[in-house]
Structure 1
Amino acid sequence: MTSATLHLPDGRRGQVVALGVTAGLALLIWLAVVSPLIGWYQARDSALAQKRTLAAHMQAVEQQLPGLRRAVAQLGADDGTARMLLAGASDAIAGANLQSALQALAAQAGTSLDSIGMQPAKSLHALRLVTAQVTLTARWTMLVAFLRAVETAQPRMIVDSISLNTASIPGSGQPSTLQATLSVTGFRAEGRP
Structure 2
Amino acid sequence: MFSNLSGNAQRALALGLLALLLLVVVMLLVLPLRNAFSASDERIAELQFRLQKYSTLAGRQTQIRAELEALLQQDSSGEELLGGASTAIAGANLQALLKQVVQQAGGRLESTQALPEVLQGAMERIAIRAQFSGNIEALQQVLHGIEFRKPLLFIDKMEVRIKRVRRSRIAQQELGAGQQLSVSLQVSGFRRLEAEG
Please say whether Structure 1 and Structure 2 have the same fold, judged by a TM-score greater than 0.5.
yes
The one-letter amino acid of 1:141's match is E
Instruction: Give the match for residue 191 of structure 1.
Output: 194
Instruction: Give the match for residue 180 of structure 1.
Output: 183
- Distance in 2, matches of 1:119 and 1:78, equals 25
Q: Which of 98, 104, 112 pairs up with 1:108?
A: 104
Q: Which of 137, 141, 160 pairs up with 1:145?
A: 141
Instruction: Give the match for residue 131 of structure 1.
Output: 127
- Distance in 2, matches of 1:183 and 1:168, equals 22
SS of match in other structure, 1:128:
strand
Question: CA shift at 1:111, angstroms?
Answer: 1.4
Q: Given the superposition, is the C-alpha separation of residues 99 and 114 from structure 1 closer, same or farther in structure 2, using an over 3 Å criterion? A: same
The one-letter amino acid of 2:97's match is A
The one-letter amino acid of 1:122's match is V
Alignment RMSD (CA, Å): 2.2
- Distance in 2, matches of 1:77 and 1:159, equals 23
Instruction: Give the match for residue 19 of structure 2.
Output: none
Asked whether the 8 Å contact 1:168–1:176 carries over to 2, the reply is: no
SS of match in other structure, 2:187:
strand
- Distance in 2, matches of 1:112 and 1:169, equals 16
Aligned-pair identity in percent equals 29
> How do 1:10-159 and structure 2 match up within 5 A?
79-80=76-77, 82-159=78-155
Deviations 1:31-67 (A, max 9, x none): xxxxxxxxxxxxxxxxxxxxxxxxxxxxxxxxxxxxx
Asked whether the 8 Å contact 1:167–1:178 carries over to 2, the reply is: yes
Q: Given the superposition, is the C-alpha separation of residues 78 and 181 from structure 1 closer, same or farther in structure 2, using an over 3 Å criterion? A: closer
- Distance in 1, matches of 2:186 and 2:79, equals 21
Question: CA shift at 1:176, angstroms?
Answer: 1.1
The one-letter amino acid of 2:110's match is D
- Distance in 1, matches of 2:137 and 2:72, equals 37
Asked whether the 8 Å contact 1:131–1:185 carries over to 2, the reply is: yes
- Distance in 2, matches of 1:168 and 1:148, equals 25
Instruction: Give the match for residue 62 of structure 1.
Output: none
Unaligned runs of 5+ in 1: 1-70
Question: CA shift at 1:78, angstroms?
Answer: 7.7
Q: Given the superposition, is the C-alpha separation of residues 128 and 159 from structure 1 closer, same or farther in structure 2, using an over 3 Å criterion? A: same
The one-letter amino acid of 2:143's match is L
The one-letter amino acid of 2:187's match is V
Q: Given the superposition, is the C-alpha separation of residues 166 and 184 from structure 1 closer, same or farther in structure 2, using an over 3 Å criterion? A: same
Instruction: Report how many residues are paired.
Output: 119
Q: Given the superposition, is the C-alpha separation of residues 117 and 76 from structure 1 closer, same or farther in structure 2, using an over 3 Å criterion? A: farther
Q: Given the superposition, is the C-alpha separation of residues 125 and 164 from structure 1 closer, same or farther in structure 2, using an over 3 Å criterion? A: same
The one-letter amino acid of 1:138's match is G
Structure with max Cα Rg: 2
SS of match in other structure, 1:121:
strand
The one-letter amino acid of 1:184's match is V
Unaligned runs of 5+ in 2: 1-67
